[in-house]
Structures are given as structure tokens and as C-alpha cells.
Amino acid sequence: MTAAPEASPAPEAPDTAPAPKTRRPRDMAISLLVLLIPVFAVVWMYRTLYGGDTVVTVDPSEAIGSAQRAGLTQLPPATAPQGWFIVSAHFRDGYLRIGYLNQDQQGVQLVQGRGELPRPAERHYVGRSADMTVMLVTAGADVAPLAKLLPIPVSVGEGG
């Protein structure tokens, strides 16, 4: 029988591991640009093509009509003061709520219902007439133009 030739051991790999790839600041900047360009493009398209900055207004006539059919009296007019926008109008659970934006894009909410209304944390103006209560809630907007249109006079509420 012939002896099998002895296998020579495999040459050992050198102990040096390949150097890790280093990232340069330029690589990070390119990655950020690749991610941000589509975001900016979508925002630009929304604002220019779809009018993303325009105020969406609503007609409060339906909500005011519902409040009137439910027996609320001395309701606000269905128009906003000059330069203001009506952005929401609801009659639910016995309360009429109309949201306004003034020229400075500050919000004011009118709440009208029977009896006592819940006290908000924001500055508010209250008016009462017989069993009707009206409240204007704002975080700092000047409510004088809106208050002039209301059939019930309002004044600064307690804590406002």
C-alpha cells in the first residue's frame, strides 16, 4: 500500500483585519440632501399647486338655523367682521360653536347656549341675556370687531 502524501497546512491569514471604511462629512451632507429634497418638493407642491396657505371658510347658516330651530335666540349673524374668516360652525348638544380667524390669523371661538357655559382656561368674554349665554374664547386676539356684531353684549369674564 502506498502512503498518502501528507497534506501541508494551509497558509495562515495575516492578523491584520481590513481597515473599517470611514465616512466623511461630505457623505453625510449628500445623504441629507437626498432625503430632504423630496420633502421640500412635496411641501412646495402643496403650498403652490393646492393652495396650502389659504384659509378654508365655511358657511355657518346651517348651524345657526339648527340652533334657531332648537329654540336659541339672539343668535350671531352668519357673517364675519371685515377681514375675518369663519372657519368652523357646529350646533351640537345644545351649544352653537363658531370658529373665527382674524386678520392676524388668531383664533376666536364663539360658544352660545342656554344657562351657564363651562369656563375655559383661555381668556374669555361673556354676555348674558335672559336665559341665553354667549362666550368668546381666545388666546389673545382682539375680539372687539366680532363683539360689535353680536346681539348680546360681552365683557371680560372672570379669570380672563
pLDDT digits (tens, 9 = 90+) for 110-137: 998 887 777 776 778 888 888 888 888 8
Which residues, 6 or more positions from 160, have their beta carbon under 8 angstroms from its beta carbon? 122, 123, 124, 125
pLDDT in tens, the chain (160 residues): 566 666 666 666 566 766 677 888 899 999 999 999 999 999 999 888 888 778 888 999 999 999 999 998 889 999 998 999 999 999 988 889 999 998 888 889 999 888 777 777 677 888 888 888 888 888 878 888 888 888 888 887 654 4
What's the whole-model pTM score? Answer: 0.67
Q: Are the CB atoms for 94 and 68 separated by under 8 Å?
A: no
Separation between Cα atoms, residue 67 and residue 20, nearest integer Å: 72
Per-residue pLDDT, 12: 65
Per-residue pLDDT, 159: 46
